Amino acid sequence: MGDMFCLRSVLKMNLFLLLTLNALAEGSYQKRSAHSCPDLCSCSFAPSGAEVECSRSSLTVLPVGLPRNTTRLSIQSSNLSAITASHLSAVPLLTNLQLYHTSLDNLPSDLLKDVPHLNTLDLTGNRLVHLPPNVFHRTSLQSLVLKNNLIEKVDSEWFPHNSSLTWLDLSGNRLTSIPADLLQRLPHMRNLDLSDNNLQDLLNLDSLNHLHHLETLNLAGNKLTQLKATTFTHNLQLSQLFLQQNQIQELPENLLQGLQHLELLLLNQNQLQHLPAGLLDDRKSSFRVILSSNPWVCDEKLEYLWKWLTVHHHNVIFLEEVTCSAPEILKNRQVVSLTDNELSPKKKLDIITNE
């Protein structure tokens, strides 16, 4: 009996030692895994998670051996041509994914299924043309950048209803229109960038009505020729509005009505000849506007703008570049330097005639 008891004690002790050694080995492996760094990448480690950056042209596939606790992964200036959900499953704690200037031309619809914590995705400068439906459904994305790709059409099915997205950048693509129901799925949107596309008409874009939290809207570098008076009626939180480098010929008097938070308005490089009376009234003292590079016709119809510039010259950026394109006698004159008689020679003639 004594020998049996001793044998059992030895066996239990050996089992305990074996389990302890296995646990230590596993812990050591996890520690090495959490602090290893793939070739062609640089890594930094913090208690909150690892940050990995890979920027080599020789990189053609997602690196293996990424730290499992990676929270930020940046791959840029590489020849990465494909990425899959199985690649990202190696980094389940990922919150920020940046794939800049790679060779990606498509994304699988289930790409984000194993990174539920992802909130920022930046795909700037790739070769994306078409994206599959539901591609951004599986995460709580807050920021999505698709800048400088080859996208010709946006599919509202990319996003779930009531998406958590607050920042969307679609600038530098080939869009000619925005689906009517796309922005209806993005009620939390604060920053929307549609600049440098081929948008021609916003007259029927009533989906802007659903963006009650929108603060920044960039429509610069498109082919807009006009806007309807109610375009921004429901975007009362707008603080920055970029309309430069379009072909806008006239603006409705009530376009900015209700936009009490507007701080910056860019209207330069359009085809404006006059501004309607009242357009810029009731602005904050901190309000700034750029009006240069428009073909201003300096006649009696420009009287509103002339008076506004005279009183609010401190609100105008590049004031000296707001100049007359016509009539010939006033060409290149700064609008703010004009006199009442120069703007309304007919008024002067009537006064002389009446005398």
CATH of the domain at 354: 3.80.10.10
Instruction: Using the predicted structure, report yes or no on whether residue 10 has a pLDDT greater than 70.
Output: no
Cα separation, 197 vs 243, whole angstroms: 13
In total, how many domains does the chain have? 1
At residue 8, the pLDDT reads: 55
**Mean pLDDT in residue range 40-59:** 93
Q: Is residue 264 part of a domain?
A: no
Domain ranges, residue 341 = 272-355
Residue 11 has pLDDT above 80, yes or no: no
What pTM value is reported for the model?
0.87
For residues 319-337, give the mean pLDDT. 97
Residue 192 placed within a domain? no
Asked whether residue 331 is assigned to any structural domain, the reply reads yes
> What's the pLDDT at 350?
43
* pLDDT for the residue numbered 88: 95
The pLDDT tens digits of the residues spanning 123-170 come to 999 999 999 999 998 778 999 999 999 999 999 999 999 999 999 999
The pLDDT, as a whole number, for residue 120 is 97
Does residue 150 belong to any structural domain of this protein? Answer: no
Contact 272, 246 (CB under 8 A): no
pLDDT of residue 4: 52
Q: pLDDT-derived band of residue 203, with 50, 70 and 90 as boundaries? A: low
Q: Tens digits of per-residue pLDDT, 85-106?
A: 999 999 999 999 999 999 999 9
Residue with tokens 């700064």: 334
Alpha-carbon span 244 to 153, nearest angstrom:
23
pLDDT at residue 31, rounded to an integer: 41
List, in sequence order, every beta strand (DSSP E) within 146-215.
167-169, 191-193
What average pLDDT does range 260-287 have in this prediction?
97
299 is a domain residue: yes
Average model confidence (pLDDT) across the chain: 89
> Among candidates 158, 226, 227, 241, which has minimal Cα distance to 194?
241
CA 189, CA 211: separation in Å to the nearest integer? 6
Most confident of 59-68, 198-207, 319-328: 319-328
pLDDT-derived band at 354, boundaries 50, 70, 90: very low
291 belongs to a structural domain: yes
**Between the CA of residue 202 and those of 214, 229, 230, 256, 276, what are the distances in Å?**
16, 11, 11, 15, 20
pLDDT of 20 > 80? The answer is no
Q: Is the pLDDT of residue 48 over 80?
A: yes
Whether residue 314 lies inside any domain: the answer is yes
pLDDT for the residue 345:
64
